[in-house]
Amino acid sequence: MKGKFINWKKLQHRPVAIFGAGISGNAASALLTQLGWDYEIYDEQERVFTNEKASECSIVICSPGFKKDHPWRQIAQNYEKEIITETDFAVNFTESKIIAVTGTNGKTTLATFLTHLWKTIGKSALTAGNIGVPLSQLVADGLDSKTTIFLETSSYQSEDLKYLRPKAVLWTNFDEDHLDYHETREKYFGAKSRLLELGTKETCLLGESVANFAKKNDFQLPPQSRIVKRSEGEELRLNHDCFLTSYPQLENIAIAYAFSREVGINRKFFLDAMETYNPEPHRLQKINTIGHATFWNDSKATNFSSALAACKNFDGNIFWIGGGRSKGGKIEEFASKLSPLVKKVFLIGESGKILSRLFTNESFPSVFCASLEEAVKKAFLAVTQKTNILLSPGFASFDSFKDYTDRGNSFINIVLDLKKIASMTSHNRFA
């Protein structure tokens, strides 16, 4: 044990209050169970946190998404209860080396690729955090201290961190996102920059957009910070079909390469890992080609910058399918940046009608659709020459789907059904 919880058993006579019954809260409960420490989970849909409960608990483990002004946090503070994140709790019970990976886009790819690289050279490594496997769960399951953890860290998670001391911080890029939560780009940047403060004496590799925003806003970067240019990844291009050499991934692979050199990994091993890496689903994933139309699933693109980056990866005709629940940001600016990159847009979700008005006002070809299925079919019917039909929504999925995975799987199934129909039609034509 280390940090505040080196004497954690002195706190054990009181239960821990866990805010949130989702993945993070359940992982915290798994670790507490393994420690033999009682807890209570509080969920706004079921069990409510009260003054009485605050007086009875030892500490509060708060899941991401509970803003600092949340009433339950105020109650806990009134009773002078420490509020920590699930990640911060877990780091006190592991000796594993932690590499913090963050960014507006690309953090999943960077974290999973580095984990793959470590494994290809015979080192033990795991990916945890925002990717869906909380650190607490790994610790509860029995984490080997020799295993390196590549911790994908969102702004929700980093904002409240206190005890994490990453051995390196890798920050891919910065653009507007989650402004529905953070309100301003400055606050969003501040939430992520907490990692720089915690890892201030260690390796710190930053993308150019991070450094540019810091300079523009007079934010002092740690002295050991190194700015990694996207162009540093271009020399590693293998072939056009390699996912990691696509436009959206170049800065991720540049930072990965820079970090691998920092720790002494041979270039050949790095290139071999690039060849054998399998990207996570729903990130610029080629689904099928039907006639002149090639369908691409990029459902994980839940913000403007990731959608724009995906579009820049293609030459020729692009039909863009996008829209969903807004996360804040300048939607007018997004529409104006998108239109030069695509030939036609097919719009879905809560933001679809807003986008439709914007594109209509600019006399840009757009079609508002009542569902993703309608958008896919109308896009396909509009194809008259070789065209990439790209689902890269630029918005959250929660207006119509459980999450971006559900949205991506729906898209895949729609395309595969369309393929079957097209094949049957073609067969009947020559029967």
User: What is the tens place of the pLDDT at every residue in 154-168?
Assistant: 888 898 999 999 999
Taking the CA atoms of the chain, what radius of gyration do you get in angstroms?
23
The answer to whether 78 and 154 are in contact (CB under 8 A) is no
Tell me which residue has tokens 């009608």. Answer: 353
- E-strand ranges in 28-156 read 39-42, 60-62, 83-85, 98-102, 125-129, 148-152
The span from the CA of 188 to the CA of 371, in Å, is 32
* Nearest Cα to Cα of residue 269 among 111, 122, 97, 124: 122
**Backbone torsions φ then ψ of 367, nearest 5 degrees:** -135, 120
Determine how many CB atoms are found less than 10 A away from the CB of residue 207: 24
Side chain identity at residue 295, one-letter code: F
* Paired strand residues for 125: 148
pLDDT at position 76, please? 97
- Given pLDDT bands bounded at 50, 70 and 90, which one contains residue 281? confident
What is the average per-residue pLDDT within 1-16?
Answer: 76
Side chain identity at residue 238, one-letter code: L
For CA atoms 267, 270, 276, 280, give the dihedral sign. Answer: negative
Structurally, what CATH architecture does the domain formed by 3-88 represent?
Answer: 3-Layer(aba) Sandwich (3.40)
Chain centroid offset of residue 386 CA: 31
Collapsing DSSP states into helix, strand and coil, what is residue 326? coil
Name residues whose C-beta falls within 8 Å of residue 339's C-beta, 6 or more positions apart in sequence. 345, 359, 362, 364
Side chain identity at residue 106, one-letter code: G
The answer to whether 19 and 63 are in contact (CB under 8 A) is yes
pTM attached to this predicted model: 0.82
Share of the chain above pLDDT 70, in %: 92
C-alpha dihedral, 190 to 194 to 195 to 200, nearest 10°: 110
C-alpha dihedral, 356 to 395 to 107 to 64, nearest 10°: 160
Pick the residue with more confidence: 232 or 343? Answer: 343
Q: In this predicted model, what pLDDT tens digit does every residue of 367-395 receive, in sequence order? A: 999 999 999 999 999 999 999 999 999 99
> At the topology level of CATH, where does 94-276 sit?
UDP-N-acetylmuramoyl-L-alanine:D-glutamate ligase (3.40.1190)
Name residues whose C-beta falls within 8 Å of residue 361's C-beta, 6 or more positions apart in sequence. none
- Given pLDDT bands bounded at 50, 70 and 90, which one contains residue 431? very low
Tell me the CA end-to-end span of the chain in Å, nearest whole number.
73
- Given pLDDT bands bounded at 50, 70 and 90, which one contains residue 183? confident
pLDDT at position 429, please? 41
The span from the CA of 411 to the CA of 399, in Å, is 15
What is the average per-residue pLDDT within 104-131?
Answer: 93
Q: Comparing 7-11, 211-215, 347-351, which segment has the lowest mean pLDDT?
A: 7-11
pLDDT at residue 235 is higher than 90: no
What is the average per-residue pLDDT within 265-269?
Answer: 93
**What counts of helices (H) and strands (E) characterise the chain?**
18, 16
pLDDT at position 427, please? 41
pLDDT at residue 245 is higher than 90: no
CA distances from 406 to 178, 263, 392, 398 (A): 20, 38, 14, 10
Angle at Cα 267 formed by Cα 264 and Cα 272, nearest 5°?
A: 120
Query: Residues of CATH 3.90.190.20 domain(s) within the chain?
Result: 285-429
Averaged pLDDT score across all residues of the chain = 90
Q: In this predicted model, what pLDDT tens digit does every residue of 144-155 receive, in sequence order? A: 999 999 999 988
Query: Residues of CATH 3.40.1190.10 domain(s) within the chain?
Result: 94-276
* Nearest Cα to Cα of residue 242 among 270, 274, 281, 287: 274
Q: Comparing 56-65, 112-121, 225-234, which segment has the lowest mean pLDDT?
A: 225-234
pLDDT at position 425, please? 63
Name residues whose C-beta falls within 8 Å of residue 333's C-beta, 6 or more positions apart in sequence. 304
Count of residues in the chain: 431
pLDDT at residue 31 is higher than 90: yes
The CATH class that applies to domain 285-429 reads: alpha beta
What is the average per-residue pLDDT within 261-287?
Answer: 90
pLDDT at position 136, please? 97
Query: Residues of CATH 3.40.50.720 domain(s) within the chain?
Result: 3-88
Name residues whose C-beta falls within 8 Å of residue 17's C-beta, 6 or more positions apart in sequence. 39, 40, 42, 49, 53, 54, 57, 59, 60, 61, 76, 81
